[in-house]
Structure 1
Amino acid sequence: MEPGGDVIAELAADHRELEDLFSQIELQPVDHPRRRELADRLTAELVRHTVTEELHLYPAVRKHVLHGAALADKELADHARAEQMLKGLEDRNVDDPLFNDTIAKLKFEVASHMREEEHKLFPKLAAALPPEELVELGRLVRRARETAPTRPHSLLPNTPPAHRLLVPGTGLVDRVRDLLRTTTR
């Protein structure tokens, strides 16, 4: 994605990347170690994506979209279900039958969530905000992605103000863990 995209373009590009990661996982033989690497990448990207939505998209939806609070709450519930699946996937080996089952369920959940955002939520937000505000939200999303966590944290609040305070530190800790995990493989 080129710098300067609006929030809808930024998040839609994330959606395409997540779809691609699911496809890459499915292309690997069932018990191939590459599936674990791809699942770890998927986890990092999905967590970053959901955190940026929680920090910037859903507060804007609550504030500017008619019945936005209900929409945002539904999306947050979707995130919580996906996060539980990611947590269950975290320490599973690729030869565990639950690994593939969890990937399949996660793909279904995430695909449904993305369709709903792209066909319902994004158009409502686009109608509610002027283009310059959508571009500013896109900038905030890009910046938040740099410090967002890369692992699921079910105890981390998913709404401001606590979320805004805790996410950067959690993201830093996750990146150190990711680095250590990569160097010890």
Structure 2
Amino acid sequence: MPRSSSDTATSSGPSQHPFFRGNIGPPLRTFTDAAAAPAARVRILPAIKHDHRELEAHIHKILQSTDPDEQTRYQNQFIWELARHTIGEELVVYPALAKHVKNGQALADRNLSEHQGLKEQLKSFQSLSTTDPRFKPALQGLLEDLEKHIEQEEGENLVQLEEELSRAESEALTRSLDRTKMFVSSRSHPTAPNKPPFETAVGLLTAPIDMVADLFRKWPHPDGE
């Protein structure tokens, strides 16, 4: 059942998006010190690491909880974060990887392939109720593949990219990533194109639909209460 306007007003999922400003309350706080919001001027590697820690924190919150309502709220938060993160990387980070790193296009293509698998898993997971017996196994499988992808990005690809970028270039890439995530879809659409300019166009078309639906979803309470 859709939430009342008062419930919506205290939600915290997609509140930072400009379309939601004034409709939804303050953004969800992070759950670990490692996931604390990065400084305004930060290089791309720590910015991506911050996103990764957030995603891991959401997953573990779901797996550790025994409350279906709480699990639903963090399920929505996790989906919202991962969908935006993957598209943001595809539109901003991977083109930079292809441009600046030796054999970067091959690395970018491998990451796109891994993203496609994650998107397909996320699409299945986002349709599951927390009471479905497939819910936790699906999330655990998603976590395993996500951790492998994270290890590769943080240990290899993004380290190589950072070595080729000046501080100013890296910080500019972070700002571009942050801006891009504000305007892309907040749910998984694995059949959509995964390279610009078509991904950008499809993302701009599907994002408003996802955002309207987000207004009626449950989100974690502010400060994790």
Q: Which residue of 1 aligns with 2:155?
A: 119
Q: Which residue of 2 aligns with 1:159?
A: 195
Deviations 1:5-48 (A, max 9, x none): 2222211110110111111112102x623212211110110011
SS in 2 for 1:103: helix
| Map 1:32-181 → 2, pairs under 5 A | 32-181=68-217
- Cα RMSD for the two superposed structures: 1.5
Tell me if structure 2 keeps the 8 A contact 1:10–1:141.
Answer: no
Deviations 1:101-136 (A, max 9, x none): 100000111111111100001111011122211111
* Distance in 2 between residues matched to 1:77 and 1:179, nearest whole Å: 31
Deviations 1:46-96 (A, max 9, x none): 011001100100000111111111111111111111111111112212221
* Distance in 1 between residues matched to 2:120 and 2:142, nearest whole Å: 10
Residue of 54, 66, 75 corresponding to 1:17: 54
| Bigger fraction of residues in helix | 1
Unaligned segments of structure 1, at least 5 residues? none
SS in 2 for 1:147: coil
Tell me if structure 2 keeps the 8 A contact 1:56–1:140.
Answer: yes
Tell me if structure 1 keeps the 8 A contact 2:73–2:218.
Answer: no
Number of corresponding residues: 182
* Distance in 2 between residues matched to 1:80 and 1:36, nearest whole Å: 24
Tell me if structure 1 keeps the 8 A contact 2:62–2:75.
Answer: yes
CA spacing shift, 1:23–1:182, aligned 2, 3 Å: closer
CA spacing shift, 1:53–1:13, aligned 2, 3 Å: same
* Distance in 2 between residues matched to 1:119 and 1:45, nearest whole Å: 21
TM-score relative to the length of structure 1: 0.92
Deviations 1:133-180 (A, max 9, x none): 111100101111111211001222111111222323322221111113
Tell me if structure 2 keeps the 8 A contact 1:150–1:174.
Answer: yes
Tell me if structure 1 keeps the 8 A contact 2:76–2:218.
Answer: no
Q: Find runs of 4+ consecutive structure 1 residues off by over 4 angstroms.
A: none
Q: Which residue of 1 aligns with 2:45?
A: 8
- Tell me how far 1:182 sits from its aligned partner: 4.4
Q: Which amino acid aligns with 1:80?
A: Q
Residue of 26, 38, 41 corresponding to 2:63: 26
Tell me if structure 2 keeps the 8 A contact 1:51–1:158.
Answer: yes
